[in-house]
Amino acid sequence: MKKSWKRLLGLDILSDKYAYSNDAEHGWVATEKIPEKWVKTTCGYCSVGCGMKVGVRGDRAVAVRGDEDHPVNRGKLCPKGLSEHHTLQARSRALRPLLKQKNEFQPVSWDTALDTMVEKFLSVQAKYGKQALGVLSTGQLVTEEFYALGKLIQLGFGTSNYDGNTTLCMASAVAGYKRSFGSDGPPGAYDDLAESDLVILIGANIADNHPILCQRLAENRQGTVVVVDPRVTKTAMLADLHLPVKPRSDIALLNGIGHVLIAESMIDAAYIERHTTGFEQLRTHLAAYTPSHVAGISGLTEEQVLDIARRFGRARAPFVAWTMGVNHSTQGAETVNAICNLSLLTGKLGFAGAAPFSITGQCNAMGSREASCTSSLPGYRKFESAEDRAEIAKLWNVDPSVIPTKRGHAYPDLVEGMVKKEIRALWIIATNPLVSFPNYDVLTQALGNLEFLVVQDGFHPTPTTLHADLVLPAAIWGEKEGTYTNSERRVSKVNAAVPPPGEALSDFEIFLRTAGQLGVRDKLFPNWTGPRDAFEEWRQVSKGRLCDYSGLSYELLETAGPIQWPHPQGTESTGTRRLYADGRFEHSDEKAKLFCIEWQPAPEQPSRQYPFVLNTGRTVEHWHTRTKTGEVEMLHRMSPRAWLEMNPTDAERLGLEMHDKVTLVSRRGQVDGVELRVTSIIAPGHVFLPFHYFEYNSNRLTLSAYDPISREPNYKQCAVRVERSH
Ligand SMILES: Nc1nc2c(c(=O)[nH]1)N[C@H]1C(S)=C(S)[C@@H](COP(=O)(O)OP(=O)(O)OC[C@H]3O[C@@H](n4cnc5c(=O)[nH]c(N)nc54)[C@H](O)[C@@H]3O)O[C@H]1N2
Ligand SMILES: Nc1nc2c(c(=O)[nH]1)N[C@H]1C(S)=C(S)[C@@H](COP(=O)(O)OP(=O)(O)OC[C@H]3O[C@@H](n4cnc5c(=O)[nH]c(N)nc54)[C@H](O)[C@@H]3O)O[C@H]1N2
Ligand code: SF4
Ligand SMILES: [Mo]
C-alpha cells in the first residue's frame, strides 16, 4: 500500500528518509517526522508551564504535542510551544566555545575556554577587588542550575554583584509581595481563573503572552472579566469590561477602589484587625482618592470608578492578576502594594477564586526567585537577617561571615557600575541585553568599559554574543534535565529529549566544570554529577521555608505529575493550592502590611518636541529577542518585522498612512523604517512598538528610569516623536 502511492507520486526513487508514509496515528507525514518515542517535559517559553511531549526520531526532535495529563494545559499548546522543537535545530545554534583574538572569534577547546575565563575573572578580582566581577543571569535555566550558579558565584567567586533579567521583569512583584506579605510567592492558583466571580487583569495581555491561561479563563462561566490597559489588547477584546486607563494611572484607580470600599463599608473589619497592620493610616490616606479625583487622573469616568469598586466590594472571590503593565514602572512595587491592599481590606485572599496574583514571565523566573542568590538567599532567606544567614551558612557548611549582609548590585546598578568602571568583568548567562535592556547607548558604553565579557548562550551570533570576548555554547530546553516552577508555584519536570548540538554543554555542566577550574568543585558540589544532586541538596535547603520542596522528588514529579509548593516531607496531598489561607503572613508579627501609596505621574511626559507616549511590549508569535522564535519559519513568517501602532486621528494629523515607513525619535536615540499600522486599538497620543526586533530596537528609545524599590525599568512609557522615514 505504502509502495503503490509512493510510486504514484514518483516518490519511490527517494530515500526512505524523505518518503511519505501513512501511519495510523499520524496520517500522511514525512517518515522523518514520525517520532520513534515521546519524551515528557515542560515548555521552555513562558511561565504558564504547559506540559508537553517531544517526539524524537534518532537524535532529532521532530514533533511536539500537548500533554493530556498535565493539570495546567490538559493537552493544549500555543503556537510557540507547538513549534518549539524547531528551535533545537536552528542554524544559529552556538556549537563550540569561541574566543575573540584580534577581533575575530576563534574556536577553542572547553578546557582553554574555561581556563581563560577563570584566569581573567580572578585577575580582574585581584586587581580591583572581588566585587569587580559581575554576573547577569536569567529566568530561563532549570532550578538546579540557578541553585548551583548561586553557590558558585557567592561562595566560589565571592562576589555578590549577581542579578538576572528577572529584575527587568518580576522584581516589582517580588518586592511588592515582600513588603505586603513578608515574603515573595504568588498566593493563588490557575484554578482561581475559573473559580473567581470577578477576574481583573491589570496590564496583562494574556491572549498574546499567556495564551493557555485564556483557555483556563474560558472555563469561568459566571464571573466577570475586567481588563485594565491603556491599549485595546486582544485580551481587552475578550473581556466583559475594558477600562482604558491613562498610562501609569493604575495607583490612582486602585486607591480609588480602596476609597469607595471604605466609604461604602465594603471592607472586612475583623480580617483587617486580626491579620493586618496600618489600617488607620491607610484610611486617612485614601480619603483624598475620591472617584472624581481618580477620574481626573485615570481618564475614566466617576461612574466607571464607582462601578469597578462596587463590583470588587460585592464579589465573593475577586482575583486580581497583573503582569508587565504593573511591574514595568518606577512605581512597580508600590502598585503591587496598592493591589494587595484591596485583597487585604476585604479579606478576600487565600480561598478558591480570591488572590492578588502576579503572572510571571519566563518559564522558570520562579525557580530563580526561589533558589538563586540574586535578590534573596535560597529559600527566600533575607541577606539582611542574621538568622537566615546563619541558617544557610550551616546548611552549606561555611562560616556565616562569608554570606553577604546585603544583596549586591541589581541589574541596572551593575550596568551603572560598568559605566563607572567599578565592574570590570561580566559573565552573561541566557539573556540578550543588547535587545532587552533599556537605553541602549548607556549599555553599549558600559560593555565597552569591560576588560572581559563572557556570554553563555544557546545561540550565536546574537547581538550580545557579538560583543563577547568569550562565547560559551549552551544546551537549551529540550536538551537538558531539571525542574521549572510556573506562575502558580507548580514544579514540573524538564527532560532532555535530544543531545545538545556540536560541543554545546548544559549550563549545569558548565557551572560544575567552572567550579573545577576554580578548584572549588569538591567543596561546593561534592560528588555531584548531574542536576539530580542539586535537586536533592535544594530539597534540604528549602525545607521549612515557604517554598518547601522537601517532600518532592524527581520520581514523584514523574509519577504524580507537577506539584505546587510548599510540599513538605511527609505530605500526602498533591501540593498547596493557595498560600495564606489561615491569614498568617510571613512578617515577624504574622500580619500583612497595608501601605499608603501616592500616585505619581510617569517619569517622562510628552512635550511639544516629543508628543507621543511610547508603549512597548509583546506579540503572541515571538519570544523576547527572537533568538528562538526568529528561527522558527512559521512564527517568523507570521510576524517578520516590527510595526508601530498609531491612532487614526494622529496619523491623519501627521499625514501618514497605513504601511508608511516611520522613524521614532526620543531624547536617547532613534529607530528607522518601522511599518505604520493605523489602528484604533491604540489611544490618540499613544504609540505601541513591539520590543522583539533588534533591527527596530525599542530600547534605543526607552529611558534609564528605575523603580527605587525593585530597580525595575519603566519600559512602558517614554516620550517620542514620529516622522516619515526618508
Ligand atoms: N508571546 C510571548 N509571550 C510571552 C513573552 C514573549 O516575549 N512573547 N514573554 C514572557 C514574559 S518574560 C513576560 S514578563 C510576560 C509579559 O506579559 P505581559 O505583561 O502581558 O506583556 P507586555 O506586552 O509586555 O505588557 C502587557 C500590557 O501592559 C500594558 N500597559 C502599558 N502601560 C500600562 C499602564 O500604565 N497600565 C496598565 N494597566 N497597563 C499598561 C500594555 O499595553 C500591554 O498590553 O509575557 C511572557 N509571555
Ligand atoms: N522595551 C522593552 N524591553 C523589555 C521588555 C518590554 O516589555 N519592553 N520586557 C523585559 C522583560 S519582562 C524581559 S523578561 C526581558 C527579556 O529579555 P532577554 O532575557 O534578553 O530575552 P531572551 O530573548 O529571552 O534572552 C534569553 C537568551 O538566552 C538564550 N537561551 C535560551 N535558553 C538558554 C539556555 O538554556 N541556556 C543558555 N545559556 N542560554 C539560553 C537565548 O538564546 C537568548 O539569547 O526583556 C525586557 N525588555
Ligand atoms: S502558553 Fe506558554 S508554556 Fe504554554 S505552550 Fe505557550 S509558551 Fe509554552
Ligand atoms: Mo519578563
- Show the ligand 3 pocket: residues with CB < 6 angstroms: 43, 45-46, 48-50, 73, 77-78, 80-81, 210-212
| Secondary structure string (H, E, C) spanning 614-667 | EEEECCCCCCCCCCCHHHCHHHHHHCCCCEEEECHHHHHHHCCCCCCEEEEECC
What is the rounded CA–CA span in Å between residue 51 and residue 41?
Answer: 6
Q: Which of 41, 48, 632 to mutate to test the pocket of ligand 3 (most atoms within 8 A of CB)?
A: 48
All structural domains of the chain? 18-89 (2.20.25.90), 98-167+363-527 (3.40.50.740), 171-359 (3.40.228.10), 612-724 (2.40.40.20)
* C-alpha cell recorded at residue 81: 510551544
Q: Find the 627 Cα to ligand 3 centroid distance in Å.
A: 17
Per the listing, cell 502598585 goes with 335
Q: Find the 626 Cα to ligand 4 centroid distance in Å.
A: 14
Closest approach atom of ligand 2 to CA 432: 20
pLDDT of residue 639: 96
Q: Which of 41, 43, 234, 623 to mutate to test the pocket of ligand 3 (most atoms within 8 A of CB)?
A: 43
Ligand 1 pocket member 325 (CB < 6 A): yes
pLDDT of residue 29: 66
Tens-place pLDDT, residues 491-518: 999 999 999 999 999 999 999 999 999 9
Ligand 1 pocket member 364 (CB < 6 A): no
Closest approach atom of ligand 2 to CA 464: 44
Ligand 2 pocket member 697 (CB < 6 A): no
pLDDT of residue 27: 66
pLDDT of residue 726: 87
Q: Find the 164 Cα to ligand 2 centroid distance in Å.
A: 10
Ligand 1 pocket member 620 (CB < 6 A): yes
Tens-place pLDDT, residues 128-185: 999 999 999 999 999 999 999 999 999 999 999 999 999 999 999 999 999 999 999 9
Closest approach atom of ligand 2 to CA 689: 1
pLDDT of residue 10: 46
Q: Find the 630 Cα to ligand 2 centroid distance in Å.
A: 13
pLDDT of residue 571: 79
Strands ordered across the beta sheet of 490-494: 482-485, 490-494, 563-564
Which residues lie across from 164 on neighbouring strands? 137
Ligand 2 pocket member 169 (CB < 6 A): yes
Within 13 A of 505's CA, how many CA atoms are on the CB side? Answer: 19
Task: Give the three-class secondary structure for 693.
Answer: coil
Q: Are 272 and 344 in contact (CB under 8 A)?
A: yes
Within 13 A of 535's CA, how many CA atoms are on the CB side? Answer: 21
The DSSP secondary structure of 466-509, one letter per residue, reads GG-SEEEEB--TTS--EEEE-TTSEEEEE--SSPPSTT-B-HHH
Q: Find the 199 Cα to ligand 1 centroid distance in Å.
A: 17
* List of the chain residues with pLDDT < 70: 1-29, 573-574
Q: Find the 168 Cα to ligand 4 centroid distance in Å.
A: 7
Q: Find the 117 Cα to ligand 1 centroid distance in Å.
A: 36
Atom 2 of ligand 3: nearest residue by CA position:
46
pLDDT of residue 31: 75
Ligand nearest to the CA of 227: 1
Task: Give the three-class secondary structure for 464.
Answer: coil
Closest approach atom of ligand 3 to CA 46: 2
CA nearest to 183, candidates 571, 487, 710, 579 = 579
CA nearest to 449, candidates 428, 421, 415 = 421
Q: Find the 657 Cα to ligand 3 centroid distance in Å.
A: 35
pLDDT of residue 23: 62
Q: Which of 78, 201, 209 to mutate to test the pocket of ligand 1 (most atoms within 8 A of CB)?
A: 209
Closest approach atom of ligand 3 to CA 79: 6
Q: Which of 163, 440, 624 to mutate to test the pocket of ligand 2 (most atoms within 8 A of CB)?
A: 624
pLDDT of residue 16: 46
Burial of 412 (0-12, 13-18, 19+ CB in 10 A): buried
Tens-place pLDDT, residues 578-625: 999 999 999 999 999 999 999 999 999 999 999 999 999 999 999 999
Atom 24 of ligand 1: nearest residue by CA position:
617
Provide the sign of the torsion angle of the four alpha carbons 211, 213, 218, 222, taken in this order: negative
Q: Find the 692 Cα to ligand 4 centroid distance in Å.
A: 12
Ligand nearest to the CA of 44: 3
| Residue partners of 196: CB distance under 8 A and separation at least 6 | 220, 223, 315, 317, 318, 319, 353, 354
pLDDT of residue 30: 73
State phi, psi for 499 to the nearest 5 degrees. -75, 155
Ligand 1 pocket member 229 (CB < 6 A): yes
Amino acid type, 89: Q
